[in-house]
Amino acid sequence: MTADLGITIAGVEFANPVWTASGCCGYGEELARVFPLSRLGALVTKSITLEPRLGHPPPRVAETSAGMLNAIGLANVGVESFIDEKIPFLARQKTRTIVNVAGSTMGEYIEVCQRLNDVEHLDMVELNISCPNVDKGGMQFGADPSLTEEVVKSVKKVFTRPVIAKLSPNVTDIVEIARAAEQGGADAVSLINSMVGTAVDIETWRPRLTNNTGGLTGPAIKPIALAMVSAVHSSCRLPVIGIGGIAGWADAVEFLLCGATAVQVGTAVFVEPEAPVKIVRGLREYMRRKKLRTVNDLIGRVRKYG
Ligand SMILES: Cc1cc2nc3c(=O)[nH]c(=O)nc-3n(C[C@H](O)[C@H](O)[C@H](O)COP(=O)(O)O)c2cc1C
């Protein structure tokens, strides 16, 4: 029996549920030298802002015991260069393209999405309302239910394809934020972005990042992400895209069981660029072994106690 890895979110069909996470493979050019991007369900770009940004000065990444801290500061080429220089490459790849969008103000999200709406080869946008590493915008939107609803609603007015809201774990109740995104008209939610953390060099007494704090990612955050995916899946009707510490196919299976329709692979790509391809292969073998015909046979099927 062959396993069908295809999934559909908001009417868009994906060959498989394994995507890359924003900020972990730029605009796809380097990863395409490692494997054909057609092996991915989708490629999610680095966050794009209205103007180009250089981000924070180095050091802006630091390794931790079970993950890494980063405070890149949304370094990116800006929407104009993205459309002129990066989209032509992405258009030639036989994978879905999801453009992650960030902004300091409501107007910035709207303007970037307005410009992206004219771009033919682009399947969805993912709104980064959860970046912990910028002074203005980012996480402020995703920490406030009414701002979350408003930013999604405003973007939906100018962007005619599906919109994913990417949620922050640095909140008291992520379910409340997911519901606000749903209320605003989001087509899906993705979670989680990184968790605020820090690390200190005990010789210099300096934080190990020039931003003083950063976002913790990698295996350390996986149990937190799983619990949040499970909670949002149980109380929200939107498809959930699971992110956080996925390094192997078994991690992906856990996320699907907890209610994710698709998963994104971030930090693991820095350690092993082929990780997403191995995850697709492992998932297919697992489904064959378990005699599962479609990914739907796994989504949300965790057998909870009580
Ligand atoms: C170096 C780095 C840069 C990131 N940049 C972005 C970004 O630009 N936009 C965004 O929404 N998330 C960004 N993220 C967060 C990831 O997309 C993902 O949500 C997070 O890393 C958790 O997944 P992981 O544990 O698999 O890495 C970044 C993460 C890392 C490690």
3-state secondary structure (DSSP) of residue 112: helix
Domain ranges of the chain: 7-57+75-197+217-297
DSSP 28: S
Show the tokens assigned to 224. 């937190």
How far is residue 200's CA from residue 246's CA, in Å, rounded to a whole number? 26
- Kindly give the number of the ligand 1 atom that is closest to the alpha carbon of 74: 8
Q: How far is CA 91 from CA 28, 96, 121, 220, in A?
A: 11, 9, 5, 35
Q: Domain 7-57+75-197+217-297 - what CATH class?
A: alpha beta
Bridge partners (DSSP) listed for residue 214: 197
Question: In the chain, what are the helix, strand and coil shares in percent, each to the nearest 5?
Answer: 35, 20, 45
Q: What confidence tens digit (pLDDT) does each residue in 17-65 have?
A: 999 999 999 999 999 999 999 999 999 999 999 999 999 999 999 999 9
Q: What confidence tens digit (pLDDT) does each residue in 109-131 have?
A: 999 999 999 999 999 999 999 87
Ligand 1 proximal residues by C-beta, below 6 Å: 21-24, 46-47, 70, 72, 74, 100, 128, 131, 166, 193-194, 217-218, 221, 243-246, 265-268
pTM: 0.98
Q: What confidence tens digit (pLDDT) does each residue in 224-265 have?
A: 999 999 999 999 999 999 999 999 999 999 999 999 999 999
- In the chain, the DSSP E strands lie at 7-9, 12-14, 18-20, 42-44, 61-64, 67-70, 96-101, 124-128, 163-166, 188-191, 195-197, 200-201, 206-207, 214-217, 240-243, 260-265
Report the mean per-residue pLDDT for the chain. 96
Cα 290 to averaged position of ligand 1 atoms, centre (Å): 32
How far is residue 129's CA from residue 95's CA, in Å, rounded to a whole number? 25
